Amino acid sequence: MIFSNLVVKKDEPIYLQIEKHIKQGIKNGELKKHSKLPSTREVSKFLNISRNSVISAYEELESMGIIITKRGIGTFVLIEGENENYEYNVDYIERINAYGDTLKKFDIVKSELPYKKGMISFKSISPESHLFNLDDFKRSFLDAWAYEGANLLNYGYAKGYKPLIDYFLEYMKEKQINTINKDILITNGFTEAFDIVISSLTNKGDTIICEEPTHNTALKIMKAYGLNIVQVKMDKEGLNIKSLEEALSNHNPKFGYLIPSYNNPTGIVTKTERRKEIYKLFRKFSVPIIEDGFNEELLYTSSPIDPIASLCGSGNGVIYIGSLSKILFPGLRIGWILADDKLVDILESVKRGKNIHSSFLDQSAFYYYLKSGAFNRYVKNVRKYYRDKYNLVVNLVEKYIPYEYITGEGGLHIFVKLKNNLDARKLLDLCYKDNVLFMPGDIFYENMQNTSKFITGNDTFRIGFGRVTDEDIEKGIKIIGKNIRLLTKA
């Protein structure tokens, strides 16, 4: 009550004290415009004073236009209080730490050329939204609501929604991964999963071995934590074994980070025998592997290859990070970490410390979607759709773009290395003027956005085709080819 801190004095008229108290309450913001005042009877009883004193105060304030009494409704404040403020400025840019500065520096959404309406964009490797079987997902959402109800809107568990965890454990078994003494932590997609693993298991100055080139987001996170990144070159079979052995021998790495299926950005699928060689080398040097299970379901030319984690048997030397975001519903942000159960127990606490838990509503709806068999039907349908797009892109690149090589065996992208060290960023600048966008390849290398004269990968670029129409694919690739010819003549 507004009058709870009013102490009535004997040496001043009570109605004046009430009037001043209300004015002060309005001034300091305790009483807002349109707020209701207690009745005169309530005030007199609360302060143990004459009701006439309260009536006199209210009448005086009403005559000043400060309050208004509405018969049968009550008395209300008519004016706003003074908005007091005391300006205080801080130079936050000067206070940003190395972590924040690194993530800002390598934020490609802000640093790369932006998409503009009407452009043909090959930047994204997201799935095509119109292929999503929305009716199936709506039914799954309703199933989740029917079974769980309002529980889905309350706090959940950091580890994740138990039925979804169990589903993914079975899903991993289908990939020939031994799940004995292993467990799963549900995360907000790959990015959070990788961040949780890296932040929990590495220290500044540690070395990570990864493919060259590799996932830009992973590079960005590793740089933000102050890790040394050693990239190992690839051929069409996967990591070069001789170079990998040299790197393992010379750098004493803390981890290896690998994308054996549809390496982002090259699209290279590491072959079965090469996977075995790679795994045995990491095992020989006692270096654990973080395996990024990227787009494993979108292999077009043969059956999917078992993950490297399947080679580990009952061992725990491989941490597997899974996500279906590049195939289905990226907006749900659902991923998972499969690892040693004792490690997952710790990572669960890290997850809880970061954001308590991932959305249980999303997890539950996704679980009922997967359980219904809708995902398997969806993958069968979209595999042909994306395979046709993939073949179209490859054929058009071969026809219109002079290249040293192209890589990519499926997924939603291919990677192009230009002839004669042609600068892909100069090419991008020309194409941008023609309303065509693609992802320059240098962002996938450890020296991304280097200021030195030579930048590794400066003659490469990635073409993402998942959300581009066939007509725009042909038109866009023709424009890229035209501008290559312009640069070559210059």
Dihedral angle, C-alpha 228, 276, 417, 257, nearest 10 °:
-30
Q: Which CATH superfamily is domain 113-127+381-488 in?
A: Aspartate Aminotransferase, domain 1 (3.90.1150.10)
- Report pLDDT for 490: 67
- Report pLDDT for 328: 81
- Report pLDDT for 297: 73
Residue 411 above 90 pLDDT?
no
Are the folds of 113-127+381-488 and 133-376 the same?
A: no
Cβ 206 vs Cβ 256: under 8 Å: no
The mean pLDDT value of the chain amounts to 92
Residue 228 above 90 pLDDT?
yes
Distance from C-alpha of 410 to C-alpha of 391, rounded to nearest angstrom: 9
Residue 156 above 60 pLDDT?
yes
CATH T-level fold of 14-77: Arc Repressor Mutant, subunit A (1.10.10)
CA–chain centroid gap for 75, Å, is 51
> Residue 143 corresponds to which tokens in the numbers above?
């199933």
Of 375, 361, 321, nearest to 161 by C-alpha is: 361
For 232-260, write each residue's pLDDT tens digit. Answer: 999 999 999 999 999 999 999 999 999 99
- Report pLDDT for 447: 80
pTM assigned to the model? 0.86
Task: Say whether 218 sits in a helix, a strand or coil.
Answer: helix
Angle value at C-alpha 284, between 279 and 286, nearest 5 degrees: 90
Distance from C-alpha of 31 to C-alpha of 41, rounded to nearest angstrom: 19
Distance from C-alpha of 42 to C-alpha of 48, rounded to nearest angstrom: 10
Which neighbouring-strand residues pair with 36? 76
Cβ 18 vs Cβ 41: under 8 Å: no
Handedness of CA 322, 327, 328, 333 (dihedral sign): positive
CATH T-level fold of 133-376: Aspartate Aminotransferase; domain 2 (3.40.640)
- Report pLDDT for 244: 98
Q: Domain extents for the chain?
A: 14-77, 113-127+381-488, 133-376
